Structure 1
């Protein structure tokens, strides 16, 4: 499995915190550094306050050299698709082609009301997400010298020059994630390079992977083209005392983390990752909630990664 580091800076982080984690992840050989795209904390004071995901990734693009960078997930409610296509393409060029875009419908109503962002009902959010995916991939995939147009219910583009082009062609990999029964797998089959199951059990991962495979088959796409991945909270320690200390630092119980996340000794974490791999997951996003604890990344790199990669 690929192992990727996934952060939640809305819980409390400044740029220096994220830079330290990204550079440590790169130095330790992790495949990617991802961050959430949220504007409001989900517990605690969230100090020093939220940061914009794509501004952060632009800065990290210039301060890293090999690690891949992305969002899990950017909300389609936050940005218009044309400017988002420009921003992601620009960061991709700044990074030398290391960017990936996780895009979702959005779900956290409170952050929308806190910052004056419209929050339509669920169906409209998914309709907008579907149009945004068509527009983003269409803009990136339009050959230079040609224009792109789109006439939809929510967005209209007329003779866009479809610039700039990203470094990766036809565009950065797109990730779709969630637990939806119908539209999520259908959108992943049509537009995505990767289907991600966030914080789900082994059974939840199996079900979503199967739904997405069927959705691929329905449109004539080879399901083998799609990367399958899992996101799980990380809490690993060399002994029980270290595990308990790390669980307390993120406000969680050890037993609950062992059941629902990647918690325990390195041996336990390796065993659980192998169980996800047996279901077809080839990539794990390790949700790191204590950004100051770089020693945990060192432990995973030394005692977990060598046993699950390759």
Structure 2
């Protein structure tokens, strides 16, 4: 399945480049950037595909059984702007450049030193013959890393000043997943990318790993009255489980339910709240109004100012 997905993505990328992009680049003398253009087209196509998948899965659920009536469509439109910028705009370009540079630096450092990184398949050689199990272990390890990144976002004042943009949304929907400060997104991309490099995630599997994580996070933010039952709630993060995390009483470093995909991390580290049929109001009562109702630029500016205040000892407010 992974190979078929990658092959289809490569074929579509090649067609778009050869038909639309290459002639224009040739005319204006930019063919030296051809390889970068191919990579960027593929990156953009993957972002578009992820938006379509998330919408097809989450929008019918929100229409079927919403937790609350939509009363502030303006706030949701702002979240849509976040999603488009995150998946198709400047943020993927920043992440692409940063991670490509990081990967090049890592490869050069390893080659110069002669050190062979202890990737997952080197530590457990049998995984080379069990690609499905290896893929699952990659997901588990990356999810464990995401749990701790999320904990740190709530624990450190300067990071919470950025992350509070995400929690200020009172009208939470599946679009809310991408409601993050640009600096927070860069930090998240670095965190995820470094862990993926360290455990040796194959480049061909990386896009599917990202898609799974994005779909899980978008679904967990959806405005849908949905839980996975007494057993399922302990296996996979549900919209109910994550909505408790976004509840008005779950802010700063006092929150619960930090897991992205597997609630087992919350259970192990004592941050789980498995109450069933509880769907609280969302938002951060302590956040400035601009973080709840302002536009993208306004929220970015306020978040940056709050982070600067936290760094110089004035707190996140």
Q: Quick check: which one's helix share is greater? A: 2
Structure number with greater Rg is 2
TM-score clears 0.5 = no
The structure, 1 or 2, with the larger RCO (C-alpha pairs under 8 Å, 6+ apart) is: 2
Q: Quick check: which one's strand share is greater? A: 1
What TM-score does the superposition give when structure 1 sets the normalisation length? 0.26
